[in-house]
Amino acid sequence: MLEPRRNVPLAEFTTWRVGGPASWILEPESVDETLEALQWARANGHPCQVIGAGSNLLIHDNGLPGLTLSLRRLQGAELDSNAGVVEALAGEPIPTLARRAARAGLRGLAWAVGIPGTVGGAAVMNAGAQGGCTADWLEAVRVVPIEGGESFELGRDQLEFDYRHSRLQQGDLLVLSARFRLEAGHNPQELRRETNSNLSHRTSTQPYTLPSCGSVFRNPEPLKAGRLIEELGLKGKRVGGAEISNIHANFIVNTGNATAVDIDRLIGLVQDQVEHRHAVRLHPEVKRLGFADAA
């Protein structure tokens, strides 16, 4: 059994580099260790909060009570290049999996190469980019109830996928692994070119030199959140150390000394101004933890 650590700053576990301490934290490296961690939390009466790579995540400066279960070390994947089946553990970085699939001649994940998240997080959020998304290729996930019970499989049709949404966002299940069914038999060189092109596009149009969480707001289709924010002249707007990126208006960056409250206030400011001007309420993709009004 892994030894839980106490009072560990969670800023090092988020791509925004903000967040107070976890009362307890565990970083399992296998499915068995993950199940043991859940059991430890239940046995000790601790609430359990699951995080992945810490992208699309805003943790309050006061930190989190109970056990924070970080799955970023729960990595590993098996690819069947003939059948097109990919099995990956929840903490496997989705860009790494995208590159491996391309090398194996498997088409379907090239859109994911620039997403700073994990397989589990992609399934929960129905992550997407470049016209593709997780729901297009995910066949099933293996999950376990956080409150106790045996692991079981949920098929794609049971996950209630929608734009940046899945049934997994209810928070009662932990994703252990996911199975994708990709298109086999493609030219690896062509897939690598597509993958590299997607990555180049993202790095040239989005801020990558300062900590961020990726896109902050969901697009209110057919409108684009970034364009609505930019039209208000909000690029460069700051609250404390948090700033709306001058490169892409749907990104909030940490200029070096931002707090979670700075970022949260800037998110609220953008929502209010866009709603006032455009009569559209932007909804964040970001999951907020430790805030009094967090779901």
Q: Which residues contact 82 (CB under 8 A, 6 or more apart)?
A: 184
Three-class secondary structure of residue 260 per DSSP: helix
Helix, strand, coil % (nearest 5) of the chain? 30, 25, 45
| Contact status, residue 16 vs residue 254, Cβ threshold 8 Å | yes
Catalytic residue among 92, 215, 243, 245: 215
- Cα separation, 256 vs 258, in Å, equals 6
Catalytic residue among 164, 179, 212, 245: 164
Structure tokens that stand for 158 in this block: 């049971």
Q: How far is CA 245 from the centre of its chain?
A: 20
Annotated active-site residue 285? The verdict is yes
Catalytic residue among 27, 92, 243, 285: 285
Q: Which residues contact 70 (CB under 8 A, 6 or more apart)?
A: 13, 25, 26, 27, 51, 52, 54
Annotated active-site residue 164? The verdict is yes
| Contact status, residue 126 vs residue 180, Cβ threshold 8 Å | no
Tokens 């932007």 identify what position? Answer: 282
Torsion of CA 10, 129, 118, 82, to 10 degrees: -170
Amino acid identity for residue 12 in this structure:
E
Report, as residue numbers or ranges, the catalytic residues: 164, 215, 285
